[in-house]
Amino acid sequence: MLRRSAPLTNTDLVLGVIGGMGPQATADFLAKLVAVTPVGVEQEHLRVLIDSNPAVPDRNKAIAGNGVSPAPALEKMAVGLETAGADMLVMICNTAHVFEGAIRRAVTVPFVSIVDEACDACARVVPVGQHVGLLAAPGCIEAGLYQEALQRRRLKPVLLSPEDQASFNKLIYEIKLGAPTNGIAPQMKRLADRLVASGAQALVAACTEVPLALSQQDLSRPLIDATRTLAERCVRYARRLEPIPLSYYRR
Instruction: Give contact residues for a second copy (rule: CB under 8 A).
Output: 1-2, 5-10, 20-24, 26-28, 30-31, 33-35, 39-58, 68, 72-73, 76-77, 80, 83-85, 176-178
| Minimum CB distance to a second copy smaller for 142 or for 174 | 174
Sign of CA dihedral 242, 43, 111, 87: negative
User: What gap in Å lies between CA 43 and CA 9, rounded to an integer?
Assistant: 7
Identify which of 129, 131, 134, 79 has the alpha carbon closest to the alpha carbon of residue 109.
79
Q: Which residues are catalytic?
A: 93, 207
User: What gap in Å lies between CA 46 and CA 67, rounded to an integer?
Assistant: 36
Question: Least separation, in Å, of the C-beta of 113 and a second copy?
Answer: 22
- The upper half-sphere exposure of residue 222, i.e. CA atoms within 13 Å in the direction of its Cβ, equals 15
| Minimum CB distance to a second copy smaller for 172 or for 223 | 172
Report how far apart, in Å, the C-alpha atoms of 2 and of each of 125, 142, 222 are.
39, 39, 40
Sheet holding 156-158, edge to edge: 156-158, 131-135, 202-205, 223-225
| Minimum CB distance to a second copy smaller for 200 or for 212 | 212
Identify which of 163, 168, 161 has the alpha carbon closest to the alpha carbon of residue 189.
168
The verdict on whether omega for the bond into residue 22 sits within 30 degrees of 0, i.e. cis, is yes
| Minimum CB distance to a second copy smaller for 52 or for 201 | 52
Q: Is 88 helix (H, G, I), strand (E, B) or coil?
A: strand
Cβ-in-10-Å burial (0-12, 13-18, 19+) of 103 comes to buried
Question: Least separation, in Å, of the C-beta of 93 and a second copy?
Answer: 10
DSSP structural state of residue 22: S
Question: Least separation, in Å, of the C-beta of 187 and a second copy?
Answer: 19
Question: Least separation, in Å, of the C-beta of 9 and a second copy?
Answer: 5
| Minimum CB distance to a second copy smaller for 69 or for 167 | 69
Question: Least separation, in Å, of the C-beta of 35 and a second copy?
Answer: 6
Question: Least separation, in Å, of the C-beta of 29 and a second copy?
Answer: 9
| Minimum CB distance to a second copy smaller for 5 or for 66 | 5
